Amino acid sequence: MTFVTKLDFASGDRDVLVETVQELKETLERKGAECKGPHASPSERVTVPLYKDLAPGDEFSPWRYDVYRRSMEIHGADDIARDVVGRDFPDSIHVEVEVDQKKPLGHRRD
């Protein structure tokens, strides 16, 4: 059975995100891992209300920022994927990891 490690990255700092994901892609290719991506998703505009105090009413102008997203998949290469997941990413990047187990076509489970 083959494992597919899916990585989703999100950050408000587009430059750091692009640089980090590109460096990761180059590392995976250099180590011979099969990698799909990075795939970019449209940025998301986030609005956060800011209040002057705990009582309702007085508000500052809301804080607005963009969140940028990239995703990648590592097929097989479990040891390399494990190293990637254990890596220290910049604090400005949120990383989510999902591992799927894929069965070869034509095999039945009895």
Residue pLDDT, tens place only, 47-95: 998 988 887 778 899 999 999 999 999 998 888 888 988 899 999 999 9
Determine the pLDDT at residue 15: 97
CA 1 from centroid of its chain's CA atoms = 24
Whether 109 shows a pLDDT value over 60: the answer reads no
**106 belongs to a structural domain:** no
CATH number at residue 3: 3.30.70.600
**108 belongs to a structural domain:** no
**Three-state SS letters, 30-91:** HCCCEEEEEEEEEEEEEEEEEECCCCCCCEEEEEEEEEEEEEEEEECCHHHHHHHHCCCCCC
As for how many domains the chain has, the answer is 1
**92 belongs to a structural domain:** yes
**21 belongs to a structural domain:** yes
| Cα torsion 90, 96, 101, 104: sign | negative
**77 belongs to a structural domain:** yes
